[in-house]
Structure 1
Amino acid sequence: MSGPNGDPDISSEDGIINDDDEFGDEEYASINNMLDQINSYLDDLEERNDALNGKLHELLESNRQARLDFRAQLTGSPTQDENHAVEQESSLPSDQNQHEENQ
Structure 2
Amino acid sequence: MSGPNGDPNISSEEGIINDDDEFGEEEYAAVNSMLDQINSYLDDLEERNDALNGKLHELLESNREARRDFRAQLAGSQTQEEHRDVEEESTLPSKQDQDKENN
Aligned length: 76
TM-score in terms of structure 2 length: 0.62
User: In the alignment, does 2:59 pair up with 1:55?
Assistant: yes
1:1-103 to 2 correspondence within 5 Å? 1-14=1-14, 17-18=16-17, 24-76=28-80
Q: Max radius of gyration: which structure? A: 2
Q: Which residue number in structure 2 is paired with residue 91 of structure 1?
A: none
Identity of aligned residues (%): 28
Where structure 1 has 5 or more consecutive residues not aligned to the other structure, the ranges are 78-103
Give 3-state SS (helix, strand or coil) of 2:17's partner: coil
Task: Provide the alpha-carbon RMSD of the alignment.
Answer: 2.4
Q: CA deviation at 1:2?
A: 1.4
Runs of 4+ in 1 over 4 A off after TM superposition: 19-23
**CA distance in 2: counterparts of 1:71 and 1:58, whole angstroms:** 20
Q: CA deviation at 1:17?
A: 4.7
TM-score in terms of structure 1 length: 0.62
Give 3-state SS (helix, strand or coil) of 2:13's partner: helix
